[in-house]
Amino acid sequence: MKLIEPIVAQAAAFAAIRRDFHAYPELGFEEVRTADRVAALLAEWGIPVHRGLGKTGVVGVVHGRDGGACGRAVGLRADMDALPMTERNTFAHASRYPGRMHACGHDGHTAMLLAAAQHLARHRDFDGTVVLIFQPAEEGGGGAREMIADGLFERFPVQAVFGMHNWPGLAVGQFAVSPGPVMASSNEFHITVRGKGGHAALPHTTVDPVPVACQLVQALQTILTRNLRPVEPGVISVTMIQAGEATNVVPDTCTIQGTVRTFSTEALDLIEQRMRALSQQLCAAFGAQATFAFRRNYPPTVNSAAEAAFAAEVARDIVGADHVQPQEPTMGAEDFAFMLQAKPGAYVFIGNGDGAHRAAYGPGHDAGPCTLHNPRYDFNDALIPLGATYWVMLATRWLARQA
């Protein structure tokens, strides 16, 4: 593994920064303390800071030895927000706030990019500009979309943008990257089945929405098996069904809610169209009515081919070809997708290991799975020098290649 030595020398300092972020997690668009700390560190290293994009976003600009005169620029993005869940870890840097936790590693993503920022600012052995994007509200708030709407790429016109996420289960020292779709679109649906309530002992006088809703839940799955091409991935998950207030009353309504995931807009269009038609027509067949609402949250995360190949090349030069593997697409979603819609780029996974690193905190700290969005999760600080090295090499080599 070829790590940048000055970054390795600062590993303990950035681990402490990461643990501070972990102890004081903030939700989307509320990352005031986190953003203040990021901005203060960037300013301390002589990096111009720009704030207010996407409400709490922070952008740092590092010009190379040419002062950025060549016009070439590359963007590196890290997310800062936490999740609305209670942490079950008991180590010293566990969340101080009940109901808020860095359970996805955004504290580590921020620390890795900060470590890279410090090195880039101290050395500047490149021509062009590195734009450091510290983004709020990835977890459902669409912070990337909001930063773009606030003029991110007009004010900082990069030619490409790159992102990175830690991945539990992938060994430390390994990367995964591939061209094309790597994460799915995220979408929500809300269906209200409207019948006619009444006494449960006199069902013939009612239009019971509950069995209609049950029929509809089953019917929705036929969209995947009979309408969507068999080689096209798609998920329809009903996650909530709500109806009724008493055991002897047929309710007036039953609501169905859930999520839809696809890797293509064409598949998503088909699924939404068929869900709407099935909801309305099936309910009508039972004498009920349906109200159908569909919300598209995040588009698919699609790596551009050239940038994905370049990211893999950089990773191979750091960890060796045997430790860079194809990135298996996941039905999870990521709002870096909005940035990839606006600019060429690539999103890579960096291995977070199996959670064994938590044992160093003392007896019992390795209990429970160390998976994303789990109350026992913790970012592995061993990734910080590796991730920061990747960022520095990626940025400097991309700028040199563009010359």
pLDDT single digits (tens) 176-214: 999 999 999 999 999 999 999 999 999 999 999 999 999
**pLDDT-based confidence at 363, cuts 50/70/90?**
confident
Question: Residue 20 belongs to a domain with what CATH number?
Answer: 3.40.630.10
Share the mean pLDDT of the chain: 97
* pLDDT for residue 364: 80
Last residue of a domain, one of 274, 298, 322: 298
* pLDDT for residue 367: 82
Domain match, 34 and 165 both: yes
What lies within 8 Å, CB to CB, of 366 at 6+ separation is 355, 356, 358, 359
For 148-159, what is each residue's pLDDT tens digit? 999 999 999 999
Last residue of a domain, one of 298, 319, 336: 298
**String of DSSP letters for 300-356:** -EEE-HHHHHHHHHHHHHHH-GGGEE----BS---THHHHHHHS-EEEEEEEEESSG
Q: pTM of the entire structure?
A: 0.95
Last residue of a domain, one of 298, 332, 366: 298
* pLDDT for residue 259: 98
Domain housing 128: 5-183+300-402
